[in-house]
Amino acid sequence: MSVYEFSARNIRGEEVKLDRYAGKVLLIVNTASKCGFTPQYADLQKLYDRYMDRGFVILGFPCNQFGEQEPGTNEDVHTFCQLNYGVSFPLFEKIDVNGERRHPLFAHLTSAAPFEGFDVSTPSGKMLNALFEEKMPEKLAGDDIKWNFTKFLIDREGKVVRRFESPVDPLDLEPAIEPLL
């Protein structure tokens, strides 16, 4: 199954068929404006600027399911991203990435790229893993999205290549992105 079989509403409420991105390398990210990882928007934009001319697109999907860190309206999200980080990559309406109302795209992504744990060799990965172990160990089980800024790399055929958890800095994805371009 390909991500091109899905559609979603963009930040302005217009239905977008993801086959619009056929032949592109995609990075699909669930985002939030009030998260400790929110500064990743800056590096996501750097990646987009660096590789968009080579067929790379980032798709941002705001989500309020993790600590209610995306409380505003879609317009609030759009304005925040543009003013604070100069985001020019496509943003979509707020969605659920887990649970009964999970967007079908994210059901596909988590099925195609299961959760493999946090990289505890990094300070942020170690911190997030410790937080989960202490406060919500049950959420470490299964393949659901664990937190904001989980990233899925998609090849030009629309197939999920790899999942990167929240603490992974976007610029650290370049070695995985470049061979796909």
Task: State the number of CA atoms in the 13 A half-sphere of 96 facing the CB.
Answer: 5
DSSP-derived secondary structure letter, 136 = -
Q: Give the structural domain span for 75.
A: 3-180
Instruction: State whether the Cα torsion 1-151-149-130 is positive or negative.
Output: positive
Longest dimension (CA), the chain: 44
From CA 139, how far away is CA 19, in angstroms rounded?
Answer: 32
Q: Are 26 and 163 in contact (CB under 8 A)?
A: no
Helices of type H across 53-119? 74-85, 104-112
Backbone angles phi, psi at 26, to 5 degrees: -115, 150
Cα gap 113→109, rounded to integer Å: 6
* Number of structural domains the chain divides into: 1
Which CATH number characterizes residue 19's domain? 3.40.30.10
43 is written with which tokens? 């590096």
pTM comes to: 0.97
- Distance separating alpha carbons of residues 105 and 7, to the nearest angstrom: 8
Ordered per-residue pLDDT tens for the chain, 181 residues: 999 999 999 999 999 999 999 999 999 999 999 999 999 999 999 999 999 999 999 999 999 999 999 999 999 999 999 999 999 999 999 999 999 999 999 999 999 999 999 999 999 999 999 999 999 999 999 999 999 999 999 999 999 999 999 999 999 999 999 999 9
> Which amino acid would we find at residue 158?
G
Instruction: Supply the residues annotated as catalytic.
Output: 35
Q: Per-residue DSSP letters for 20-64? A: GGTTSEEEEEEE-SSSTTTTHHHHHHHHHHHHGGGTEEEEEEE--
